Structure 1
Amino acid sequence: MHQRSSVAELADSLREELNRYSPGGKLPSSRALVERYRVSPVTVSRALAQLTAEGLVITRPGAGAFRAHPRTGAGPVGDTRWQEVTLSADPVGEPLPRTVDASGVLVTLAAPPPGVIEFNGGYLHPQLQPERAMAAALARAGRRPGAWGRPPVEGLPELREWFARSVGGAVGAADVLVTAGGQTALTTALRALAPPGAPVLVESPTYPGLLAIARAAGVRPVPVPLDGDGVRPELLAAAFRATGAKVFVCQPLFQNPTGTVLAAERRPEVLRIAREAGAFVIEDDFARRLVHEDAGPPPRPLAADDPDGVVVHVSSLTKVTSPSLRVGVLAARGPVLERLRAIQVVDTFFVPRPLQEAALELVGSPAWNRHLRRVAGELTARRDTLVTAVRTGLPELELAHVPSGGYHLWLRLPDGADESALLAAALRAGVALAPGRPYYCAEPPGGHVRLSFAGVAGLPEIVEGARRLRAAVDEALG
């Protein structure tokens, strides 16, 4: 049984058992719970920690765990309704209201209930993560001289050099800032380049986390449609002219959610159009290390072919390793680099040195390339299994593009289909999907869902998930 599901199941069992104990009553010892439920001591510890966080249990060092007393009457109940007025009031002079809507991101972060197949995940399943290699890297990193000291605010020189080589072209270590993952890097870049109220061009559809960042910063995302070869240059040029925007955010490689790759002939066009508009291109290169086994070498990052400092490059190690290895990079050339650096220092100071040291140990170990090869093979097999299942068993869902990298399929629903109804039916059938609506900053052209094949346990679970989805389609769309 997987560790996460074991913890959740034990927590559910203990939650039901709490009614047997009066408030303040002592629960069985950790050893007794290990023997009764045949789980590890770590699982017991984590389940008790979960119940403690819920306020159901209290733990006393050396004494054990106890049922918590009810909280009713614990203190005066205040009136927080005034916050609704304060939080919704637009500041004087604020051109656009700042809204913080994380719903599109939380879909991929929230763990579904036990027994539900996770087609909505945004990270590799733990079985695909290099857990042993990461543990060994962290252990070695912790023994390095100075590993727990303060790192340079720009990042460790060796790690900056490694990231610079990954980008290629004329990008050097001096052009690189180590960040706390890709989401932080995108936030820093957008804050550096777009003042509140400014228009920002984005691909349509695009990553919901980007739209959440933009709205929280008070900037106005403007959609630029994609086709099977990525963003359309003529529409990009028209959007720059119509809006006066100075920023375009794109994912040229294995775009999320469509999986498309920006065509070779369009790459220089995008850079030329942005340069003529006096604008920056934020390149979110999130999936470069998720190339499938049957794909050829991917095109170089846009930043590698950019002599004029148009591109601000973003990437990270998170997607190909673990959600908790939040080590990423910003690469830029010219005066903009100092602005990026200043914002990062104000926001986060620096990325913790042990995490940077562990990342260095990991990417420098023989296990790194073995892991990349294994992920490439696993993702290819999972993609092929899901594509076959969709095309043979779910013909109502249109699959316009089969990706050669990344970890998801983008499916269009039949005209007039109710996206919300399908999501609800799927969850009742035991499968969690990512809705398509959050990927659009304007009205979507139709209903969509995104299916991830990275967060499931293996091929049999993909087949079973497609079978359950068939039942949900029959219920919601039939």
Structure 2
Amino acid sequence: MVNDSSIDRVVVELRRLADSGAVGEKLPSTRALQQRLGVGPVTVQRALGRLVAEGRLVTRPGAGTFVSARRTVQASDTDWQQVALGPSPVQTSGLDVLFQLMGTPGFQLGAGYLDPGLRADTRLAAAASRAARRPDAWASSPTAGIPELRSWFSRQIGAEPENVLITPGSQGALSATFRAILPAGHPVLFATPTYPGALAVARSAGLIPIPVPGDQDGIRPELLRDAFARTSARLLVIQPTYANPDGSVLAAQRRGEVLDICRRAGAFIVEDDFARWLGFAAVPPPPLWQDDDHGQVITILSLTKVLAPSLRVGAVIARGPVMSRIAAMRIVDDSFVARPVQHTAIELVSGPAWSAQVRTVGSALRERAATLGAALARELPECSFTPPRGGVNLFLRLPQGVDDIAVATSAGRLGVAVAPGRFFTIGEQEAGHLRLSYAGIRNEDIPTAVGLLAQALHAVAGRTPGFAN
């Protein structure tokens, strides 16, 4: 397997050669570069391809690779754009920071995606190869998605295929759904803590997020009832199964009450079911969709988390006129999901590789969550958390007065990436938190990472007035 880090290393070396060489100067042969850099031919070819794409090198068939003419970059005055643009309607709500964490070297407790050892890369490569050979692989897709994939998603939660709309992952689904249901300026209730990507979509669409706190059993019904009474909101966003960031599950005794409260308020429920296949147990809790007879629940599913970050395939599942409106918004946004991507997804999920991937991921996540919990109890007894019941995250409550941004920054300097908890909340909080993800770190590395995190927290706490360890 070609490692991206080895390609990056070769790119840096080739870039140095190109920048120091004269225009038209020939680079060493591929074989010579292999020997010089200690890598294989595929790594060299991919690195060369990257520099050709950058315009630093040019290849001539039969002659070799040469330093290309340097492009002169002219500085321009773009200050006028600040006047023309005015205040930005786009609010990332920390989503940009979370994506930056993915590229942070060291121990990865910040990214919510699977590490290379758990990703379905090999299985997806085989599925993509088969998908590309399908006769209709490169034709346009039905705007709602290919029938096979719609049928597969419908079977997962007991819906009908006509209720399913294929989307480019859950982020695109959330965006289309929010904007299709509510105009700018309207409130939208969020079970908190919650996913920053959903907050970013809501705020960028001009909606007003309102928090409805939860506990270890999910959203608190009495606070939900009060929130509807105070705001007249028409939409609740909730992750009832293995929520991000705390891995909680909506308690069985609360499901009916939450549905009834929303029904009386005349409100839709967006059930962000992104983690359905990331459970520790063999069978996850049923989706809220199965308890809804009135078309209130709009369920969003995604294959991205359990397979690989770049397989951006998900689904919106809804009944009635609201589905027509969401489907229309999807057409306006980007017409349809690329057919080769959909074919790749159905090739994988319809074969034995799917169940094997789900079992492997669930077993590894269960082990990592247990290791993380034990390490935190040992190294940071002054912090608290509720053990996650599934998913890829744990929400760590910090001691009173300790700043989450300061701890995350300090941990980053020690080589541990963690996510500040404030991005997952709305408004002021009683205490700071960190979102710790165990998806992107090997189980054997977790104790070392937590030990470094403890050093970072204690360093920050030592500078916090009134804190005593």
TM range (shorter): over 0.9
Q: CA deviation at 1:346?
A: 1.2
Q: How many percent of aligned residue pairs carry the same amino acid?
A: 45
Q: 2:154 pairs with 164, 180, 185, which one?
A: 164
The CA distance in 2 between the partners of 1:463 and 1:2, in whole Å, is 28
Contact 1:233 1:269 in 2 (8 A): yes
Contact 1:112 1:118 in 2 (8 A): no
Amino acid in the other structure paired with 1:346: V
Name the SS of the counterpart of 1:289 in structure 2. Answer: coil
Partner of 1:318: 304
The CA distance in 2 between the partners of 1:111 and 1:30, in whole Å, is 31
1:475 maps to 2:459? yes
Q: CA deviation at 1:65?
A: 4.8
Task: Write the deviation string for residues 202-256 of structure 1: whole angstroms up to 9, x where unpaired.
Answer: 1222101011111111111111111111111111111111111111111001111
1:281 maps to 2:281? no
Show structure 1 runs of 5+ residues with no match.
90-96
Amino acid in the other structure paired with 2:91: V
Partner of 1:384: 370
The CA distance in 1 between the partners of 2:369 and 2:174, in whole Å, is 28
CA shift in 2, pair 1:11/1:451, >3 Å: farther
Q: 2:208 pairs with 209, 220, 229, which one?
A: 220
Amino acid in the other structure paired with 1:125: D
The CA distance in 2 between the partners of 1:430 and 1:460, in whole Å, is 16
Q: 2:254 pairs with 238, 260, 266, which one?
A: 266
Task: Write the deviation string for residues 394-420 of structure 1: whole angstroms up to 9, x where unpaired.
Answer: 223322x11121111110111111222
User: How high is the TM-score relative to the length of structure 2?
Assistant: 0.92
Task: Write the deviation string for residues 239-296 of structure 1: whole angstroms up to 9, x where unpaired.
Answer: 111111111111001111111100111111111111111110000000010011xx36
Contact 1:26 1:67 in 2 (8 A): no
1:98 maps to 2:99? no
Q: CA deviation at 1:464?
A: 2.2
Partner of 1:305: 291
More divergent stretch after superposition (466-475 vs 150-159): 466-475
Name the SS of the counterpart of 1:152 in structure 2. Answer: coil
Contact 2:184 2:206 in 1 (8 A): yes
Name the SS of the counterpart of 1:288 in structure 2. Answer: coil
User: How high is the TM-score relative to the length of structure 1?
Assistant: 0.90
Contact 1:199 1:220 in 2 (8 A): yes
Q: CA deviation at 1:23?
A: 5.7
1:88 maps to 2:92? no
CA shift in 2, pair 1:145/1:14, >3 Å: closer
Q: CA deviation at 1:47?
A: 3.7
Partner of 2:231: 243
1:138 maps to 2:128? yes
Q: CA deviation at 1:86?
A: 2.5
Q: 1:455 pairs with 440, 449, 463, which one?
A: 440
Contact 2:93 2:423 in 1 (8 A): no
Partner of 1:430: 415
Partner of 1:405: 390
Q: CA deviation at 1:16?
A: 5.2
The CA distance in 1 between the partners of 2:27 and 2:382, in whole Å, is 52
Q: Any residues of structure 2 matched to 1:14-93 within 5 Å, and which?
A: 14-15=14-15, 20-22=20-22, 25-48=25-48, 57-62=56-61, 63-66=64-67, 69=70, 71=72, 74-75=73-74, 77-89=75-87
Name the SS of the counterpart of 2:430 in structure 1. Answer: coil
Partner of 1:204: 192
Name the SS of the counterpart of 1:420 in structure 2. Answer: helix
The CA distance in 2 between the partners of 1:25 and 1:385, in whole Å, is 54
Amino acid in the other structure paired with 1:384: A
CA shift in 2, pair 1:240/1:28, >3 Å: farther
Contact 1:200 1:248 in 2 (8 A): yes
The CA distance in 1 between the partners of 2:174 and 2:66, in whole Å, is 42
CA shift in 2, pair 1:8/1:150, >3 Å: same
Amino acid in the other structure paired with 2:279: V
The CA distance in 2 between the partners of 1:380 and 1:342, in whole Å, is 40
Q: 1:125 pairs with 112, 115, 123, which one?
A: 115
The CA distance in 2 between the partners of 1:260 and 1:190, in whole Å, is 23
Name the SS of the counterpart of 2:131 in structure 1. Answer: helix
Partner of 2:467: none
Aligned positions, number:
460
Q: CA deviation at 1:322?
A: 0.6
Name the SS of the counterpart of 1:398 in structure 2. Answer: coil
Name the SS of the counterpart of 1:367 in structure 2. Answer: helix
Amino acid in the other structure paired with 2:371: T
Contact 2:24 2:66 in 1 (8 A): no
Task: Write the deviation string for residues 291-312 of structure 1: whole angstroms up to 9, x where unpaired.
Answer: 11xx363221111111100011
Partner of 1:352: 338
More divergent stretch after superposition (58-67 vs 270-279): 58-67
1:393 maps to 2:393? no
CA shift in 2, pair 1:386/1:474, >3 Å: same
1:112 maps to 2:69? no
1:178 maps to 2:166? yes
Q: CA deviation at 1:194?
A: 1.2
Q: CA deviation at 1:385?
A: 1.2
CA shift in 2, pair 1:240/1:24, >3 Å: farther
Amino acid in the other structure paired with 2:333: D
1:229 maps to 2:217? yes
